[in-house]
Amino acid sequence: MTQHPTKTPQFFLTSPSVCPYLPDQQERKVFTHLVGDRAPELNDLLTQGGFRRSANIAYRPACETCRACVSVRILAEEFAPSKNQKRVLKRNSDLVGTLYPAEPSSEQYDLFRDYLLARHAHGGMAEMSVLDYAMMVEDSFVDTRVIEYRRRGPDSFLTGEGEGELVAVALTDEMSDGLSMVYSFYDPKQEDRSLGTYLILDHVRRAREAGKPHVYLGYWVKGSRKMAYKIRFQPQEHLMPAGWERYQPD
């Protein structure tokens, strides 16, 4: 893993670049390194303050003329699935999610590539190599896990693990007050499963069972179709200038 000085976090500002969510906008980010023994504590504080983690970097938007990116967290203890979300849970009741250490595999990378080519072929991650993927998964000083989702097998009740081909993967940080979904991907050919929705629902269940009140989803951008799905998981809180506030849907 990359090594950096750890006593006092230093923050840096990126140069402006094209915004991936809103047309005619420029984005900038403020970031710092998450390294050393204090990284888990710092990750908690920064995530609660609207930062996201990528490998050993914590970042948040710092755009000069736009405040459209809003940090979102689901209130797991109060969450009740909608009728459509209940149907998604039923469709995926044959899947088992198994928790593993944050270690990459060739099987994960193959699924990751299929997902990117189908869903984000022109995005910033499209050219990631197998080494880039490995760094994304394992370059972490915080409590990070990989959850692999496979179909339920005849021995799954005993082993707690699924069998067969890999259907979906979630890279997840465990925090003091919740779970943070760092990145997730799934088989793009299985659209009928609504796997993106299912992964969030499964994290809500895991957070509730662990007694953790929140599931952090990253940023919601009003007006961005890419981010519209996040608003469907109610109740949730948004990080506003005065702190976390309960969101009231229109």
The set of residues, in sequence order, having a beta carbon less than 8 Å from that of 227 and lying 6+ positions away, is: 21, 219, 220, 221
Identify the band that residue 7 occupies on the pLDDT scale cut at 50, 70 and 90: low
Task: Tell me whether residue 37 is in a domain.
Answer: yes
Q: Give the range of the structural domain holding residue 64, as residue numbers without chain letter.
A: 1-68+80-195
Among residues of the chain, what percentage have pLDDT more than 70? Answer: 97
Say if 203 falls within a structural domain. no
Question: What is the Cα–Cα distance from 124 to 118, expressed in whole angstroms?
Answer: 14
The total of structural domains in the chain comes to 1
pLDDT in tens, 107-145: 999 999 999 999 887 777 878 999 999 999 999 999 999
Residue 218 lies in a domain: no
Residue 164 lies in a domain: yes
